[in-house]
Structure 1
Amino acid sequence: MAVDFTQAIKDLRSTMASVREVTDLTALQAQITELESKAAEPTLWDDPEKAQVVTSSLSRAKAEHDRVTGMDARIDDLEALVEMGEEENDAETLAEAERELVAVTKAVGELEVRTLLSGEYDEREAVVTIRAGAGGVDAADFAEMLLRMYLRWAERHGYAVKVMDTSYAEEAGLKSVTFEVNVPYAYGNLSVEGGTHRLVRISPFDNQGRRQTSFAAVEVIPLIEGTDSIDIPENELKIDVFRSSGPGGQSVNTTDSAVRMTHLPTGTVVSMQNEKSQIQNRAAALRVMQSRLLLLKKAEEAAERKELAGDIKASWGDQMRSYVLNPYQMVKDLRTEHETGNPDKVFDGDIDDFIEAGIRWQIAQRKAEG
C-alpha cells in the first residue's frame, strides 16, 4: 500500500502547530534573550547559586526552542525529499522518504508528549530509587534488571546519569539503588514509572526450575533546586556514618564516608555512599531528603484538598506493570493497557512507548479529576 505522504506531512504540521502554540516560541525567545543578558553580567558568579539557576534555565530554554524549530526544519526537508522522489519517479528516494517519515512521526509524537508535561515539577531532573520487594533473591535480581533497563534508556537518549547509592544483596542483585537522571523533564517522563513492578519467570536461582513471582518498587522524585523553600531544622535530622560496601557486603573503602540520614518527624531515610567524601555524601543525602520531603508535603496538601472536596474515589493502586517471561512473553502496563510481546527489548531500555502511554494516561486522569 502506497504511503500518502501529502496527508502524513499535513498531519505532522498540524501536530507541530499545536506544539508551537503550547510552547509559545515568541515568549520563549524573549526569555532566552533576558537570560542571556543576565548570564553576560560580570558579577553573575559572585553568587554561585544564582548563577547556577540562570545558566541551567538558559540551557533548558535554548534546548526547548531548538527542539521545536529543528523539528519544523526536519519536516521541510522530508517534504523536499518526497517532491524530489515523486518528480524523478525514484523508488530509492521515496523509500528513504518513507523511512524518514517513520522517524519524524515518532520524534513529533515525543515532542507532543513533552508539551503535555505541565505539572509543577515536570521539568525537573529526577531522583530514582529502586527497592527489591517480595521474592527473595529473585526480587533483588529483578531490582538490578530494572536498574539496567533505566540506565540503558538514559544511554539511548544521551542523558547523564549518576548512581548515588547502592545496597547489594547477599547472594545476587540489589537491595536498593538510588540514581539521578540529570536532564530537564526527567521527572516528568519518569514519574509515570513510579509504583510496584512485577516479574514472573522460571527462577534461575531455583534448582527445581520453578516459576517465581517477584516484586520491586520504583520511586521517582523531582530533584530539589536552590530556589525551593524546604528548610529542615538540624534537630529533626539524625545522621549516621559508616563504611561504603560493595557486593557481598565487602568494604570498598577504609573510612566512614557513607552517610545515612533520618528525618525524625516522618521517619524518611536516605543513604548515600557513592561520593568520595563524607561531606559530599552528606550534601547529596540532604538534597534527596529535601526532594522527598517536598513531594511528601505536596502529597499531603493534595490529599487534604481531595478530603475537603469530598473526593472519595479509589485510586488504581501501586502495582503498575507486569513483566512475564514464562509461560509466555509479555510486558503489560496495568494502567494504560499498553503491552509488548518482547520483554528483552524492554529490559534493554526500549520503554519510550510505555512512558508516552503513561503520560497520556496521567493527563487523562488529571482532567477527569477536574
Structure 2
Amino acid sequence: MATDFPLEIQGLHKILDSITAVSDPDALRERIAQLSEEAAAPDLWDDPEAAQKVTSQLSHAQTDLERMDKLADRIDDLGALVELAQEEDDADTLAEAETELAKIRSTLEDLEIRTLLSGEYDQRDAVVTIRAGAGGVDAADFAEMLMRMYIRWAEGRGFGTAVLDTSYAEEAGLKSATFEVKGPYAFGTLSVEAGTHRLVRISPFDNQGRRQTSFAAVEVIPLIEKTDSVEIPETEIKVDVFRSSGPGGQSVNTTDSAVRMTHIPTGIVVSMQNEKSQIQNRAAALRVLQSRLLLKRQEEENAAKKAMAGDVKASWGDQMRSYVLQPYQMVKDLRTEHESGTPSAVFDGDIDSFVNAGIRWRKQQQLEAEADAGV
C-alpha cells in the first residue's frame, strides 16, 4: 500500500506540537544559558567530576533543543520532497522520502518518550545490578548476556558506562554485576527494565542438549548526587575488605582492595572491586549504598501514599520478560505484550522498542492508579 504522505506529515506536525507544549523549549533555552554560564567559570575544572557533569548536561541539552528546533523544518522539507517526487514521478526520490519519514518518526518517538519521564529521579544516571537466579550455570551465563545487552544499548545511545563490581561464576557467566550508565534520563529510561527476566534455550552446558529455563534479576536505581541528603552514620555501616578476584576465582589483585559494605539497619550489602584502590572502592560502595537507601526511602513514601489511597493497581509482577530461543525465536514483554522475533538483535542491544513500550505502559498504569484513587 502506498504511503499517504499528506496524512503522515499532518500526523508528524501534531505529535511535534504536543511534544513542544510539554517540553517547554523556552525553559530548555534558559537551562542551556545557565549551564553555559557554569561551563565558562574559570574554576570549573577544579572539580573534574562536577565539570564533566556540567559539560555533559550542556551538550545533551543543546542537542535536544537543536533536534526540536530542526524537526519542524525537516517535516516541511519532507513535504517539499514528496511534492517534487510526485510531480516528476521519481521512484528514487519517493524512496528517499520514505527513509526520511522513518527517521523523523524515530526522532519524534524519542522526544515523545522523554516527555513521559517526569519522576523525581528520572533525569539521573543509573546504577544497574544483574543477579543470576534459578538455573545454575545457564542463569549465570544469562546474567552476563543481559549485562552485555544493556552496555551495548548504552553505547548505541552515546551513554557512558563503568563497571563497578563483578562476581564471576565458577564455570561460566556472572553471579552478579553492578555497573553505571551515564546519560540524560538514564535512570528513568532503564528503570522499566527492573524485574525478573527469563531465558528458554537448548543449554550449551548440557551435553545431552536439553532445553533449559533460567532466570536473572535486574535492579535499577538512580545514582546518588552530592546534593542528596542521605546521611549514613558510621555506626550503621560495617566494612569488610578482601582481595579482588577474576573469573573462576583467579586472583587479579594481591592486596585487600575490594570492599564489602553492609548497612546494618536494613541489611543492604554492596560490594565493589573494580577500582584500583581500597579508598576508591569504598567511595564507590558508599555512593551505591546511598543510592539504594534513597530509592528505598522513595519506595516507602510511595507505599504510604498507596496505603492512604486504598488498593491501587500498580503491580509489575515477578516475571516481566521472556527470551525464548528454543523451540521458536521470540522475546516478549509480559506487561506490554510487545515482542520481537529476533532475539539476537535484542541481545545485541536493540531494546529501544521494549523500553519505549515499557515507559508508555508505566505511564498508563500511573494514570489508571490516579483515576482509581480519585486524584
With over 3 angstroms needed to count, the CA separation of the structure-2 counterparts of 1:248 and 1:15, relative to structure 1, is same
Does residue 256 of structure 2 align to residue 256 of structure 1?
Answer: yes
- Specify every segment of 5 or more residues in structure 2 that has no aligned partner in the other structure, as ranges: 371-375
What percent identity do the matched residue pairs reach? 70
26-35 vs 179-188, which moves further: 26-35
Secondary structure of 2:8 counterpart: helix
Deviation per CA, 1:124-179: give whole Å up to 9, x if none.
Answer: 11110100001110100110111111122122222211111111000011000111
Aligned partners of 2:190 and 2:220 also within 8 Å = yes
- Specify every segment of 5 or more residues in structure 1 that has no aligned partner in the other structure, as ranges: none
Q: Write the distance in 2 (CA, Å) between the matches of 1:313 and 1:364.
A: 11
Look up the match of 1:173.
173
Look up the match of 1:81.
81
Q: Write the distance in 2 (CA, Å) between the matches of 1:366 and 1:289.
A: 28
The Cα shift of 1:369 comes to 1.1
Aligned partners of 2:57 and 2:184 also within 8 Å = no
With over 3 angstroms needed to count, the CA separation of the structure-2 counterparts of 1:114 and 1:311, relative to structure 1, is same
With over 3 angstroms needed to count, the CA separation of the structure-2 counterparts of 1:367 and 1:236, relative to structure 1, is same
Secondary structure of 1:369 counterpart: helix
Aligned partners of 2:161 and 2:181 also within 8 Å = yes
Look up the match of 1:342.
342
Aligned partners of 1:49 and 1:226 also within 8 Å = no
Q: Write the distance in 2 (CA, Å) between the matches of 1:249 and 1:313.
A: 45
Q: How does 1:114-125 map to 2 (within 5 A)?
A: 114-125=114-125
The Cα shift of 1:46 comes to 6.4
Residue type at the aligned position of 1:82: V
Q: How does 1:262-301 map to 2 (within 5 A)?
A: 262-301=262-301
Residue type at the aligned position of 1:184: P
Look up the match of 1:134.
134
The Cα shift of 1:92 comes to 0.8
The Cα shift of 1:9 comes to 1.3
The Cα shift of 1:45 comes to 5.7
The Cα shift of 1:57 comes to 4.5
How many residues end up aligned between the 2 structures?
Answer: 370
Look up the match of 1:354.
354
Q: How does 1:199-348 map to 2 (within 5 A)?
A: 199-311=199-311, 313=313, 315-348=315-348
Secondary structure of 1:13 counterpart: helix
Q: Write the distance in 2 (CA, Å) between the matches of 1:70 and 1:265.
A: 52
With over 3 angstroms needed to count, the CA separation of the structure-2 counterparts of 1:256 and 1:14, relative to structure 1, is same
Look up the match of 1:31.
31
Deviation per CA, 1:299-337: give whole Å up to 9, x if none.
Answer: 011111111222265724221001111122211111011
TM-score between the two structures when normalised by the length of structure 1: 0.94
With over 3 angstroms needed to count, the CA separation of the structure-2 counterparts of 1:48 and 1:145, relative to structure 1, is closer
Q: Write the distance in 2 (CA, Å) between the matches of 1:46 and 1:149.
A: 36
The Cα shift of 1:79 comes to 2.7
Q: Write the distance in 2 (CA, Å) between the matches of 1:314 and 1:10.
A: 35
Secondary structure of 2:172 counterpart: coil
Look up the match of 1:22.
22
With over 3 angstroms needed to count, the CA separation of the structure-2 counterparts of 1:44 and 1:199, relative to structure 1, is closer
Q: Write the distance in 1 (CA, Å) between the matches of 2:346 and 2:52.
A: 35
The Cα shift of 1:345 comes to 1.4
Residue type at the aligned position of 1:289: L
Deviation per CA, 1:68-118: give whole Å up to 9, x if none.
Answer: 223334323323322332333221111111112112212211211111111
Residue type at the aligned position of 2:156: R
- Note the aligned Cα RMSD (angstroms): 1.9
Look up the match of 2:373.
none
Q: Write the distance in 2 (CA, Å) between the matches of 1:254 and 1:311.
A: 54
